[in-house]
Structure 1
Amino acid sequence: MPADPLSWETVESDVAYSCPGFDVVTQTVRLPDGSETDFDYLSEPASVCILPLTDDGEVVCIEEWRQAVSRVSRGLPVGTTEPDDDDLEAAAHRELAEETGYRAETLEALVTVEPANGLADSVMHFFVARGCELASEQQLDHDESIRASPTDYEAFLESMREGTIRDGRAVLAVAYYELLSQPKRSSD
């Protein structure tokens, strides 16, 4: 099968910078017109984002210090997959427990997206966790400052509408959840 006429050819690829969590990859690419240019992108493992819901109508949100924006951000539990994860659901259960201390009765896949594919190879898998209950203490990484904060789901949704919750992963999770929760429109 011939390549798409929009595709770029990778001529050379190197890791320019590496740190725990991600690499910065620099490439020389050949464009469709035959010219060459440099392209840099962020490379990181796949991650999971969990929308944890309790039977009492709450969402278990997290409040976490985000150094890049110099403030506490309200959002949802998110974490990268580990090489020894048996599957994505195992990663979602682990991240929920580590960041919040909650466990889910059930977990269902919501959507998988590439949230920033113009500058990163990130793939994020979203899950809805239902029947969430506090089961243990948080097990935070050494560089995490997280507070679990169960919040009424409607109040959480209103905070998004008002723009006080700005975490893109949380907004995307709730937007998909709301979209897929609505009755399907019939085509006339």
Structure 2
Amino acid sequence: MKIEDTPEAWDVVDSKERFRGHVITVVTDSVKMPRDEVADRDIVVHPGSVAVLALDEQERVLMIRQYRHPARMLMWELPAGIRDVEGESLVEGAARELAEEAGYRADTWHTLVDLRSSPGMTGERIRVFLARDLTKIETDFVHRHEEIDMPVEWVPLADAVEKALMGMIHNSPAVAGILAAYAASVEGFALLRPADAPEV
């Protein structure tokens, strides 16, 4: 059997909206299962996200620390954000987030890894990009809420891997991005897909 995720959609015989918020919606789909059984599945509908593993010439990862209320933690993360600008490509959204959250521009972009945050309960897709050839820029973006006084730190990639494996970094795009970048660096990033690679 080929080890590759493939698109498939089982019939939905009914769908009920349970909640509509600022970013997410919660629905219950009644899904036709094998042997004609129908089962209800609660789904968090999410617009998707992008994240950026920015790597400098010293093999350091740019990380930010942000308060995450559901986790009740200050978490070390990659610059990231939801896909909330109509018509914006994924890499354009990632470049915008890198500029707004960290004040950097990158000249070289690759797709690092694609994630489904929790596919048993949400359709959220997260694309993590590798950004290199970085330049510090001035931005007039106004930080609000959790982004006020958000520190930016450069962490050696090997140290970031160690922190992820030791349970010191928990944000899933950060952990996946750090480990993927470390693995990809072995081949000099030659195996990475282009920044505009299609998304499943």
CA displacement 1:41-68 (0-9 Å, x = unmatched): 1111121111011223321101000111
Tell me, in whole angstroms, the C-alpha distance in 2 between the residues paired with 1:183 and 1:65.
Answer: 35
Partner of 1:41: 43
Task: State TM-score, norm by structure 2.
Answer: 0.80
4+ aligned runs moved over 4 Å, structure 1: none
Tell me, in whole angstroms, the C-alpha distance in 1 between the residues paired with 2:30 and 2:182.
Answer: 41
Deviation at 1:119, TM superposition (A): 0.9
Q: 33-42 or 87-96, which moves further after superposition?
A: 33-42
Does the alignment pair 1:117 with 2:119?
A: yes
Does the alignment pair 1:64 with 2:66?
A: yes
Pairwise CA RMSD: 2.2
Q: 66-75 or 33-42, which moves further after superposition?
A: 33-42
Which residue identity does 2:186 align to in structure 1?
A: Q
Q: Against the structure 1 CA distance between its residues 111 and 57, is the aligned structure 2 distance closer, same or farther, given a 3 Å change threshold?
A: closer
Matched-pair identity in %: 26
Equivalent positions of 1:1-188 (< 5 A) are 8-137=10-139, 139=141, 142-145=144-147, 146-183=150-187
Deviation at 1:149, TM superposition (A): 1.8
- Give the gaps of 5 or more residues in structure 2: 1-7, 189-200
Q: Against the structure 1 CA distance between its residues 119 and 174, is the aligned structure 2 distance closer, same or farther, given a 3 Å change threshold?
A: same
Deviation at 1:160, TM superposition (A): 1.5
Task: State TM-score, norm by structure 1.
Answer: 0.84
Deviation at 1:143, TM superposition (A): 3.1
Q: 72-81 or 82-91, which moves further after superposition?
A: 82-91
CA displacement 1:100-149 (0-9 Å, x = unmatched): 11111221112222232111101111110102232125735533333222
Tell me, in whole angstroms, the C-alpha distance in 2 between the residues paired with 1:172 and 1:140.
Answer: 29
Residue correspondences, number: 179
- Give the gaps of 5 or more residues in structure 1: 1-5
Contact 1:7 1:32 in 2 (8 A): no
Helix, strand or coil at the partner of 2:34: coil
